C-alpha cells in the first residue's frame, strides 16, 4: 500500500523571479478593456468620468488610475489613424473624379472631425490599459520615486 502526500499544500513560498513579478497582466485584454472604457484590471468599473478625464479609481475593484501617463500619445495615435483613412480617400477621389475643392472640403473636414472625436476616448483608454498591463509608471506595485 502506497501513501501519496500532497506536496502542493506543504510547499513553502520561495522567492523567485516569478513570485517577485506579481500577478500576470494580459496586455491585449487590458487594451481591449481600456478601449471600451472599462477598467483594465477587472473590466467592470468605468475608466472615464468625463470625455477624456480618467477617473481616480475603479468603482468595482478599486484600482488606482492616477499613475497613468497617457499625455499626448492618444492624440498622436488618432492623428496617425485618421490621417491614414482620410488622406488616401482624398487622393483616390481627387485622382478619379476631381470634384470641386469646396465639395471635397465639405466631406473631408466633417469626416476628420467625427473620426477624431469618436476615436480619442477609446484610444486613450487603450493607452491607459497598455500602461497598466506593462506596469509602466506607478502601475508597478514595486514602484518607488526615491530616485527623484
Ligand atoms: Zn476595476
Q: Is residue 38 part of a domain?
A: yes
Report the 10 Å Cβ neighbour count for 93. 15
Using the mean position of ligand 1's atoms as its centre, give its distance from the Cα of residue 10 in Å: 33
3-state DSSP assignment of residue 64: strand
pLDDT tens, 60-105? 999 999 999 999 999 999 999 999 999 999 999 999 999 999 999 9
C-alpha distance from residue 131 to each of 16, 21, 28, 41, 123 (Å): 24, 16, 12, 11, 12
C-alpha 99 – ligand 1 centre gap (Å): 50
Q: Is residue 115 part of a domain?
A: yes
145 domain residue, yes or no:
no
Find where cell 498622436 sits.
76
Q: Is 3 inside a domain boundary?
A: no
Residues 44 and 66: their CA atoms lie apart, in Å, by 18
The domain containing residue 132 runs over which residues? 23-139
In the block, cell 506536496 appears at 7
Report CA(139)–ligand 1 centroid distance (Å): 13
pTM score? 0.80
Each residue of 28-62: pLDDT tens digit? 999 999 999 999 999 999 999 999 999 999 999 99
How many structural domains comprise the chain? 1
Within a domain: 132 = yes
Q: How far is the CA of 46 from the centre of ligand 1 (A)?
A: 8
Amino acid at each position: 500500500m502506497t501513501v501519496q502526500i500532497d506536496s502542493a499544500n506543504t510547499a513553502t513560498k520561495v522567492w523567485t523571479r516569478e513570485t517577485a513579478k506579481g500577478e500576470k497582466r494580459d496586455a491585449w485584454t487590458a487594451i481591449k478593456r481600456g478601449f471600451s472604457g472599462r477598467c483594465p484590471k477587472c473590466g467592470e468599473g468605468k475608466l472615464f468620468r468625463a470625455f477624456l478625464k480618467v477617473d481616480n479609481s475603479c468603482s468595482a475593484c478599486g484600482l488606482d488610475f492616477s499613475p497613468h501617463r497617457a499625455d499626448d500619445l492618444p492624440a498622436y495615435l488618432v492623428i496617425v489613424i485618421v490621417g491614414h483613412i482620410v488622406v488616401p480617400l482624398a487622393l483616390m477621389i481627387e485622382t478619379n473624379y476631381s470634384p470641386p475643392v469646396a465639395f471635397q472640403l465639405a466631406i473631408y473636414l466633417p469626416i476628420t472631425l467625427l473620426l477624431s472625436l469618436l476615436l480619442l476616448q477609446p484610444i486613450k483608454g487603450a493607452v491607459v490599459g497598455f500602461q497598466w498591463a506593462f506596469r509602466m509608471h506607478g502601475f508597478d506595485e514595486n514602484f518607488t520615486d526615491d530616485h527623484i
